[in-house]
Chains A and B, each alone.
Chain A
Amino acid sequence: MSPSLLLHRLLQLLPVLLGVTVIVFGMMSLTPGDPAETMLANQNATPAQIATLRHDMGLDRSLPVRFASFLTHAVQGDFGQSLFHHRPVAAVIAERLPATVELSAAALLFSLLLAIPLGVIAAVHRGGLLDRLATVGSLFGVSLPGFWFGILLLLVFAVDFRLLPVSGAIDYASQPPTITGFLILDSLLALRLDSLGNALAHLLLPAITLGLPMAAILMRVTRASMLEVLRQDYITFAEAKGLSRARILGLHALKNALLPTITVAAIETGSLLGGNMVVETVFGWPGLGRLVVESIFARNYPLVQAAVLLYALTYVLVNFCADLLYTVLNPRVRM
C-alpha cells in the first residue's frame, strides 16, 4: 500500500471516531442520575450547594456547549478531571492502560495459538474424533459466561491446588521498577526473572478466561475457511507437484484460509475489550476495564467518556491493522 493511500485510509477513521464521540457524549447525558448529587450524596448537602457544584463542573451549561468544550479539549488529550480521583482523566487512564493491554494481548495470543492449529487439524481430519472434540469444545467455549468460567478456574487452580495466584497482576515483592508500565516488558528490561515469572503466573488465568470464547469462534472460522480452501484446484495442483503435506497445508492452504480468521479476530478484539470489564473484575486485575466499571457506577462522566473513546480508537485501529495484514496475505487487494 502506498503512503498516500495509507494516509487516506487513516483520515477515513476520523469521522468514525467523531461519530463515536457524539454517541458516547449523548448517552452519558441521557442516562438518569447527576454526578454532582452522587458526589455529595452522603454529605447532607443543600440544593444550593449541589447547584454550586454543578456550576463548577459545567453541568449547568447546554448540551452543545458542553460537547464543543469536551471536543476541543479531547483533541488535545485533555479529558478533564476525574471526578473522584481529583487528577486528570488522561493520567488515571494512562496508569491503568498497560495492565489491560497486556491482558488483552495475552488473551489474543492465547486464542490465536489455540484456534489456528485446532481449526486446521479439525478441517484436515474432518469428521474425525479430533474434529468432533474441537467442535464440541468450541461450543462450550462460546457458551460459557466469562465470569463463571473465570471463577471456576480460580477455584480449581488458585484455591484448591494453590498453583496460581488468586488476584492482581503481580505480588508486591516482585514488582519490577516502572519503566514502561507494562509489567512483563519492565521485568524483561530490568532482567528480573522473578518478576517475569510472577507476572506471567498472574496473567495466565485471566488471559485464558478472556481468550477462550474468542478462541472458540476463531477455531470455527479457521476450520470453515480451511475446508473451503482445501477443495480448491490449487491444492490439487500443489499435491500433483509432489509437495510435502506440511507445505501444502501450512503455506498453500493456510495463507488463503487465514483471511477470514483475521477479519473475525479484528472484530472479536472489540468484544475482548468489553470482556475485559468482567474478567478484570473477577480477577482483581488493575486495568482499565475495572476502572470503567467503577466509574460507570459512580457516574464519573469524564472518565467513562475518555475510556469509551479510547475503546473506539483501539477498535478502529485494530481493524485498520487487520486491513493492512489483509493486503500482505492477499495480493489481489494490494494497491
Chain B
Amino acid sequence: MTEPLLEITDLRVAFHARHGKVRAVDGVSLTVAPGECLGIVGESGSGKSVTFAAVMGLIRPPGRIEAGRIRFAGRDLVGLDAASYRQLRGRDIAMTLQDAQTSLNPALTVGTQIIEVLAAHGEGNARARAVEMMTMVGIPAAERRLGDYPHQFSGGMRQRMMVAIALSCRPKLLIADEPTTALDVTIQAQVLELIASIRAKLGMSVVLITHDLGVVADYCDRVAVMYAGQIVEAGRTADIIGSPRHPYTEGLLASVPDLHNLDRPIRPIEGQVPDLIDLPPGCRFLPRCPKARPDCAKPVPMRAVGEGRNVRCVLT
C-alpha cells in the first residue's frame, strides 16, 4: 500500500466555553491516499468541518488541538510554525467553503483574489495562470472578468471562481467543505463534476465534506461517517452504502429519499445530536439508537470488520 498523503491519528479538538469543554473532535483517525476522494458525512455539529479546520491549521482560540497527530506528505502539521503553515495552505492543501457568496471578498475584484494566492506562493506569471485556471473551471471570457467583483457573478459562477482560486496553485489535496449545500440542484451537479474532472486532470486527492449521502455515493472512493465528534463507520463507499453496519449510518440512509423506490418511506432519525459537553463514556448514538443494548453504555472502540472497513458499534 502506498504511503497516505494525509494521515490523521487520534485527533482531539476542544473548544473551551464558559460552561465547560466542548469536545468537537474526539479521537478521529483517518487517511487519504494520493489521488483518492474521501467523503466525510455527518450532521451539523458532528465535527467534520472542525477536523479539517485542524488540518488547515485554522483552529483559533477558544479552540485547541488537545492531542493527536496530523501528517501530510511526510510532515507533522500539529505544532507547525505559522510561517511554514502559511506556505502550505493554499499551495499544497487548499480549501473551498460552503458558500461562495460569503467566501469571496465583496470589496476586491476576483482577479485580485486569485492572483494574490499565486503571488503569495511565489508562482510566476500569476495573471496568465489565473486566467488559465478560470478557463479550466469554465468561466467564459476569463481575461475580461478579472476586473469584475464577486457580486457581478451568478451563484454558480461564484462557486466556480472559488474552486479556481483554491486550485490555482495545483494543490495535492483539496478539502471541499459542503461544496453543494448553498446551491441549486443543477448547479450542485456542475460543481461536483467540475471538482471530479479537475481531480482526474491534476491527480489530486479530495476530501468532500457533506451531509448528502447521494453526493458521496456518486463521487467518493471511500467514506467516513461522523457522529458527535467521532467516526462511527468508515470504509469503501459501495460497501457502506450497500450494507451499512452502524445504526446511525442505517438511519442516515433511511432518511434519504430513494428515487428508484419511491414507495419506501423516509424515516428521519429521532432525537437530537447530543451536547458535546460532559458526554457519557458509552456509545454517543445510544440515546437515539433503535438497537440499543445494555453494554452500549460502556466505551465502544473502533473495530475492523473486513477489508479497510471499521465500525464503532457493539453489534458488529
Q: Which residues of A contact B (CB under 8 A)?
A: 232-234, 236-244, 247, 251-252, 255-256, 329-332
What CA separation (Å) do A233 and B120 show in the bound complex?
20
**CB of B165 to closest CB in A, whole Å:** 7
Q: Which of A237, A252, A331 contacts B97 (CB 8 A)?
A: A237
Nearest A residue (CB) for B90: A242
B209 within 8 A of A: no
Chain A residues in 8 Å Cβ range of B97:
233, 236-237, 240
Whether B117 and A234, one on each chain, are in contact in the complex, defined by CB atoms closer than 8 angstroms, is: no
Whether B149 and A331, one on each chain, are in contact in the complex, defined by CB atoms closer than 8 angstroms, is: yes
Whether B86 and A244, one on each chain, are in contact in the complex, defined by CB atoms closer than 8 angstroms, is: yes
Of residues 63 to 104 in B, which have CB atoms within 8 Å of A's CB atoms?
86-91, 94-95, 97-99, 102-104
Whether B99 and A241, one on each chain, are in contact in the complex, defined by CB atoms closer than 8 angstroms, is: no
Q: Which of A232, A239, A255 contacts B58 (CB 8 A)?
A: A239
Whether A241 and B105, one on each chain, are in contact in the complex, defined by CB atoms closer than 8 angstroms, is: no
**CB of B206 to closest CB in A, whole Å:** 15
**CB of B80 to closest CB in A, whole Å:** 13
Q: Which of A232, A242, A255, A331 contacts B117 (CB 8 A)?
A: A242
Of residues 115 to 151 in B, which have CB atoms within 8 Å of A's CB atoms?
116-117, 120-121, 149, 151
| Smallest CB-CB A-B distances: 3 pairs | A242-B90, A242-B89, A241-B90
Chain A residues in 8 Å Cβ range of B268:
none
Chain B residues in 8 Å Cβ range of A330:
106-107
Given contacts A241-B116, A332-B151, contact A234 B90 (CB under 8 A): no
What CA separation (Å) do A243 and B90 show in the bound complex?
8
**CB of A166 to closest CB in B, whole Å:** 46
What CA separation (Å) do A329 and B109 show in the bound complex?
11
What CA separation (Å) do A237 and B103 show in the bound complex?
6
**CB of B55 to closest CB in A, whole Å:** 11
What CA separation (Å) do A332 and B98 show in the bound complex?
22
Chain B residues in 8 Å Cβ range of A241:
89-90, 94, 116-117, 120, 165-166
Q: Which of B91, B107, B162, B166 contacts A331 (CB 8 A)?
A: B107
B108 within 8 A of A: yes
Given contacts A236-B58, A237-B162, contact A242 B121 (CB under 8 A): yes
> Which of A239, A329, A332: most chain B CB closer than 10 A?
A239
**CB of A19 to closest CB in B, whole Å:** 34
Chain A residues in 8 Å Cβ range of B157:
none
B56 within 8 A of A: yes
What CA separation (Å) do A237 and B94 show in the bound complex?
10
Given contacts A237-B162, A240-B56, contact A247 B106 (CB under 8 A): no
Instruction: Count A-B pairs with CB separation below 8 Å.
Output: 79
**CB of B284 to closest CB in A, whole Å:** 28
Whether B107 and A243, one on each chain, are in contact in the complex, defined by CB atoms closer than 8 angstroms, is: no
Chain A residues in 8 Å Cβ range of B162:
237
What CA separation (Å) do A331 and B104 show in the bound complex?
13
Q: Which of B94, B104, B116, B149 contacts A234 (CB 8 A)?
A: B104
Whether B151 and A240, one on each chain, are in contact in the complex, defined by CB atoms closer than 8 angstroms, is: no
Whether B107 and A233, one on each chain, are in contact in the complex, defined by CB atoms closer than 8 angstroms, is: no
Of residues 208 to 228 in B, which have CB atoms within 8 Å of A's CB atoms?
none
What CA separation (Å) do A330 and B149 show in the bound complex?
10
What CA separation (Å) do A240 and B55 show in the bound complex?
11
Given contacts A241-B117, A242-B91, A244-B86, contact A256 B102 (CB under 8 A): no
Nearest B residue (CB) for A256: B107
What are 13 of the A-B contact pairs (CB < 8 Å)? A232-B102, A233-B97, A233-B103, A234-B105, A240-B166, A241-B90, A241-B94, A242-B87, A242-B120, A252-B108, A255-B108, A256-B107, A331-B149
Chain A residues in 8 Å Cβ range of B94:
240-241
Whether A255 and B107, one on each chain, are in contact in the complex, defined by CB atoms closer than 8 angstroms, is: yes
Whether A243 and B116, one on each chain, are in contact in the complex, defined by CB atoms closer than 8 angstroms, is: yes
What CA separation (Å) do A305 and B88 show in the bound complex?
65
Whether B103 and A234, one on each chain, are in contact in the complex, defined by CB atoms closer than 8 angstroms, is: yes
Whether B108 and A243, one on each chain, are in contact in the complex, defined by CB atoms closer than 8 angstroms, is: no
Chain A residues in 8 Å Cβ range of B165:
237, 241
Whether A256 and B89, one on each chain, are in contact in the complex, defined by CB atoms closer than 8 angstroms, is: no
Given contacts A242-B89, A243-B116, 8 further A-B contacts (CB under 8 A): A239-B56, A241-B90, A242-B86, A242-B88, A244-B86, A255-B105, A255-B108, A256-B105
Q: Which of B86, B91, B105, B166 contacts A252 (CB 8 A)?
A: B105
What CA separation (Å) do A332 and B87 show in the bound complex?
32
Given contacts A234-B103, A241-B117, A331-B149, contact A251 B90 (CB under 8 A): no
Chain B residues in 8 Å Cβ range of A232:
102
What CA separation (Å) do A85 and B102 show in the bound complex?
61
Chain B residues in 8 Å Cβ range of A329:
107
**CB of A332 to closest CB in B, whole Å:** 5
Chain B residues in 8 Å Cβ range of A234:
102-106
Chain A residues in 8 Å Cβ range of B121:
242
Chain A residues in 8 Å Cβ range of B106:
234, 256, 330-332
**CB of A130 to closest CB in B, whole Å:** 16
Chain B residues in 8 Å Cβ range of A233:
97-99, 102-103
Nearest A residue (CB) for B162: A237
What CA separation (Å) do A256 and B108 show in the bound complex?
9
**CB of B146 to closest CB in A, whole Å:** 14
Whether A240 and B105, one on each chain, are in contact in the complex, defined by CB atoms closer than 8 angstroms, is: no
Chain A residues in 8 Å Cβ range of B58:
236, 239-240
**CB of A122 to closest CB in B, whole Å:** 16
What CA separation (Å) do A242 and B80 show in the bound complex?
14
